[in-house]
Protein backbone atom coordinates (compact mmCIF):
# COMPACT_ATOMS: atom_id res chain seq x y z
CA UNK A 1 0.00 0.00 0.00
CA UNK A 2 1.50 3.28 -1.17
CA UNK A 3 0.88 6.51 0.72
CA UNK A 4 -1.94 8.65 -0.59
CA UNK A 5 -1.31 12.37 -0.45
CA UNK A 6 -4.42 14.55 -0.58
CA UNK A 7 -3.94 18.00 -2.06
CA UNK A 8 -6.32 20.83 -2.91
CA UNK A 9 -7.36 24.35 -2.04
CA UNK A 10 -8.25 25.51 1.47
CA UNK A 11 -11.73 24.50 2.51
CA UNK A 12 -12.21 21.86 -0.16
CA UNK A 13 -12.70 19.17 2.49
CA UNK A 14 -9.36 17.34 2.62
CA UNK A 15 -9.63 16.69 6.36
CA UNK A 16 -13.24 15.45 6.22
CA UNK A 17 -12.53 13.14 3.29
CA UNK A 18 -9.38 11.80 4.97
CA UNK A 19 -11.32 11.00 8.15
CA UNK A 20 -14.01 9.26 6.13
CA UNK A 21 -11.42 7.15 4.24
CA UNK A 22 -9.74 6.19 7.52
CA UNK A 23 -13.10 5.12 8.93
CA UNK A 24 -13.82 2.88 5.95
CA UNK A 25 -10.45 1.37 5.09
CA UNK A 26 -7.24 0.15 6.71
CA UNK A 27 -5.53 3.49 6.05
CA UNK A 28 -4.42 5.57 9.00
CA UNK A 29 -4.47 9.29 8.40
CA UNK A 30 -2.25 12.22 9.37
CA UNK A 31 -2.45 15.90 8.47
CA UNK A 32 0.54 18.13 7.69
CA UNK A 33 -0.95 21.16 9.49
CA UNK A 34 -1.59 19.02 12.59
CA UNK A 35 2.03 17.83 12.54
CA UNK A 36 3.27 21.41 12.29
CA UNK A 37 0.94 22.59 15.08
CA UNK A 38 2.14 19.86 17.40
CA UNK A 39 5.80 20.51 16.53
CA UNK A 40 5.42 24.19 17.36
CA UNK A 41 2.70 23.90 20.00
CA UNK A 42 0.93 26.72 18.14
CA UNK A 43 -1.96 27.07 15.73
CA UNK A 44 -1.17 27.67 12.05
CA UNK A 45 -2.73 31.13 12.34
CA UNK A 46 -0.34 32.00 15.21
CA UNK A 47 2.66 30.72 13.28
CA UNK A 48 1.70 33.01 10.37
CA UNK A 49 1.14 35.94 12.75
CA UNK A 50 3.96 35.55 15.33
CA UNK A 51 6.55 34.15 12.96
CA UNK A 52 5.89 34.37 9.21
CA UNK A 53 4.52 32.51 6.22
CA UNK A 54 8.13 31.80 5.23
CA UNK A 55 8.75 30.10 8.56
CA UNK A 56 5.57 28.05 8.10
CA UNK A 57 6.74 26.95 4.62
CA UNK A 58 10.09 25.85 6.08
CA UNK A 59 8.18 23.68 8.57
CA UNK A 60 6.20 22.20 5.67
CA UNK A 61 9.50 21.30 4.03
CA UNK A 62 10.71 19.57 7.18
CA UNK A 63 7.45 17.61 7.30
CA UNK A 64 7.74 16.65 3.62
CA UNK A 65 11.23 15.19 4.15
CA UNK A 66 10.05 13.22 7.17
CA UNK A 67 7.04 11.90 5.25
CA UNK A 68 9.22 10.75 2.37
CA UNK A 69 11.70 8.96 4.60
CA UNK A 70 9.55 7.58 7.38
CA UNK A 71 5.86 7.26 6.55
CA UNK A 72 4.27 4.31 4.78
CA UNK A 73 0.75 2.98 4.09
CA UNK A 74 -0.80 6.24 5.20
CA UNK A 75 -3.33 8.73 3.89
CA UNK A 76 -1.76 12.15 4.27
CA UNK A 77 -3.95 15.24 4.11
CA UNK A 78 -2.09 18.47 3.47
CA UNK A 79 -2.43 22.22 3.79
CA UNK A 80 -3.39 23.96 0.54
CA UNK A 81 0.17 25.16 -0.11
CA UNK A 82 1.94 21.88 0.64
CA UNK A 83 1.79 20.87 -3.05
CA UNK A 84 4.84 23.10 -3.58
CA UNK A 85 7.11 20.61 -1.85
CA UNK A 86 9.52 19.28 -4.44
CA UNK A 87 9.31 15.67 -3.24
CA UNK A 88 5.49 15.48 -3.31
CA UNK A 89 5.38 12.69 -5.90
CA UNK A 90 7.99 10.72 -3.95
CA UNK A 91 5.78 10.74 -0.87
CA UNK A 92 2.89 8.92 -2.51
CA UNK A 93 0.05 8.82 -4.99
CA UNK A 94 -1.21 12.39 -5.37
CA UNK A 95 -4.99 12.82 -5.17
CA UNK A 96 -6.52 16.23 -5.85
CA UNK A 97 -9.84 17.27 -4.34
CA UNK A 98 -11.13 19.75 -6.87
CA UNK A 99 -14.00 22.24 -6.93
CA UNK A 100 -14.65 25.73 -8.34
CA UNK A 101 -13.66 28.60 -6.02
CA UNK A 102 -17.24 29.83 -5.49
CA UNK A 103 -18.38 26.34 -4.53
CA UNK A 104 -15.57 26.06 -1.97
CA UNK A 105 -16.56 29.35 -0.37
CA UNK A 106 -20.25 28.39 -0.41
CA UNK A 107 -19.31 25.10 1.24
CA UNK A 108 -17.38 26.82 4.03
CA UNK A 109 -20.13 29.39 4.64
CA UNK A 110 -22.74 26.65 4.94
CA UNK A 111 -20.78 24.87 7.67
CA UNK A 112 -22.04 25.29 11.27
CA UNK A 113 -18.50 26.40 12.25
CA UNK A 114 -18.09 28.69 9.24
CA UNK A 115 -16.65 31.61 11.15
CA UNK A 116 -14.04 29.46 12.86
CA UNK A 117 -13.14 27.81 9.56
CA UNK A 118 -12.55 31.18 7.90
CA UNK A 119 -10.70 32.65 10.89
CA UNK A 120 -8.18 29.85 11.21
CA UNK A 121 -7.02 30.33 7.60
CA UNK A 122 -5.01 33.54 7.23
CA UNK A 123 -4.94 33.22 3.44
CA UNK A 124 -8.76 33.26 3.29
CA UNK A 125 -9.14 36.56 5.13
CA UNK A 126 -9.29 38.47 1.84
CA UNK A 127 -11.53 36.61 -0.61
CA UNK A 128 -10.32 38.57 -3.65
CA UNK A 129 -6.71 37.64 -2.91
CA UNK A 130 -7.78 34.06 -2.18
CA UNK A 131 -9.47 33.81 -5.60
CA UNK A 132 -6.23 34.99 -7.24
CA UNK A 133 -4.31 32.36 -5.31
CA UNK A 134 -6.84 29.73 -6.39
CA UNK A 135 -6.48 30.70 -10.07
CA UNK A 136 -2.72 30.52 -9.78
CA UNK A 137 -2.69 27.19 -8.00
CA UNK A 138 -5.40 25.21 -9.75
CA UNK A 139 -3.39 24.43 -12.93
CA UNK A 140 -0.46 23.40 -10.75
CA UNK A 141 -2.65 21.12 -8.63
CA UNK A 142 -3.97 19.49 -11.82
CA UNK A 143 -0.50 19.02 -13.25
CA UNK A 144 0.74 17.26 -10.12
CA UNK A 145 -2.15 14.93 -9.47
CA UNK A 146 -2.44 11.24 -10.37
CA UNK A 147 -6.14 11.18 -9.51
CA UNK A 148 -8.68 14.03 -9.51
CA UNK A 149 -11.92 13.94 -7.52
CA UNK A 150 -14.51 16.61 -8.22
CA UNK A 151 -16.00 17.15 -4.77
CA UNK A 152 -18.63 19.72 -5.82
CA UNK A 153 -21.92 19.07 -4.02
CA UNK A 154 -20.75 15.61 -2.89
CA UNK A 155 -20.63 14.38 0.70
CA UNK A 156 -17.32 13.41 2.32
CA UNK A 157 -18.61 9.85 2.40
CA UNK A 158 -19.24 9.78 -1.38
CA UNK A 159 -15.85 11.38 -2.06
CA UNK A 160 -14.16 8.80 0.14
CA UNK A 161 -15.84 5.92 -1.75
CA UNK A 162 -14.80 7.45 -5.07
CA UNK A 163 -11.25 7.92 -3.80
CA UNK A 164 -10.88 4.32 -2.68
CA UNK A 165 -12.30 3.04 -5.97
CA UNK A 166 -9.98 5.20 -8.07
CA UNK A 167 -6.92 4.33 -5.96
CA UNK A 168 -7.67 0.62 -6.35
CA UNK A 169 -7.95 1.04 -10.12
CA UNK A 170 -4.71 2.97 -10.22
CA UNK A 171 -2.70 0.28 -8.40
C1 LIG B 1 -2.64 27.14 3.41
C2 LIG B 1 -3.65 26.26 3.73
C3 LIG B 1 -3.98 25.87 5.12
C4 LIG B 1 -2.75 26.01 6.01
C5 LIG B 1 -2.16 27.39 5.89
C6 LIG B 1 -1.75 27.74 4.46
C7 LIG B 1 -2.40 27.47 1.99
O8 LIG B 1 -4.46 24.53 5.18
O9 LIG B 1 -1.78 25.05 5.67
O10 LIG B 1 -3.13 28.30 6.36
O11 LIG B 1 -1.31 27.99 1.65
O12 LIG B 1 -3.29 27.19 1.17
P13 LIG B 1 -5.93 24.06 4.62
O14 LIG B 1 -5.78 23.82 3.15
O15 LIG B 1 -6.21 22.82 5.38
O16 LIG B 1 -6.87 25.15 4.93
94 bridge partner residues: 5
Nearest CA to ligand 1 atom 12: 80
On the CB side of 49, CA atoms within 13 Å amount to 10
Inside any domain, residue 135: yes
Number of structural domains the chain divides into: 1
The pLDDT of residue 117: 86
Q: Which of 31, 42, 79 to mutate to test the pocket of ligand 1 (most atoms within 8 A of CB)?
A: 79
What is the residue range of 129's domain?
A: 4-152
Atom from ligand 1 closest to the CA of residue 32 = 9
The pLDDT of residue 171: 78
The pLDDT of residue 142: 98
Angle between helices 156-170 and 14-23 (to 10 degrees): 70
Q: What is the mean pLDDT of residues 136-146?
A: 98
Inside any domain, residue 165: no
Inside any domain, residue 166: no
Inside any domain, residue 54: yes
Inside any domain, residue 84: yes
What is the overall mean pLDDT for the chain? Answer: 96
Report the CATH number that the domain containing residue 98 is assigned in CATH: 3.40.50.300
pLDDT digits (tens, 9 = 90+) for 44-65: 999 999 999 999 999 999 999 9
For residues 75 and 4, the answer to whether their CB atoms sit within 8 Å is: yes
Between the CA of 128 and the centroid of ligand 1 the distance, in Å, is: 16
Inside any domain, residue 138: yes
Inside any domain, residue 48: yes
Q: What is the mean pLDDT of residues 87-111?
A: 96
Between the CA of 158 and the centroid of ligand 1 the distance, in Å, is: 23
Inside any domain, residue 159: no
Distances (CA, A) of 52 to 16, 19, 35, 40: 27, 29, 17, 13
The pTM assigned to this predicted structure is: 0.96
Q: What is the mean pLDDT of residues 70-92?
A: 97
Residues contacting residue 129 through CB under 8 Å, at least 6 positions apart: 123
Q: Which of 30, 111, 123 to mutate to test the pocket of ligand 1 (most atoms within 8 A of CB)?
A: 123
Amino acid sequence: MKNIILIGFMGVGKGSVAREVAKNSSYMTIDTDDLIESMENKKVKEIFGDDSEEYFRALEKKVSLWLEGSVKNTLISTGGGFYKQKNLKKIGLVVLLDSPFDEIIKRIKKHPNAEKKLKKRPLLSDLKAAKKLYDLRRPEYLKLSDIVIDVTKKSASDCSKELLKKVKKHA
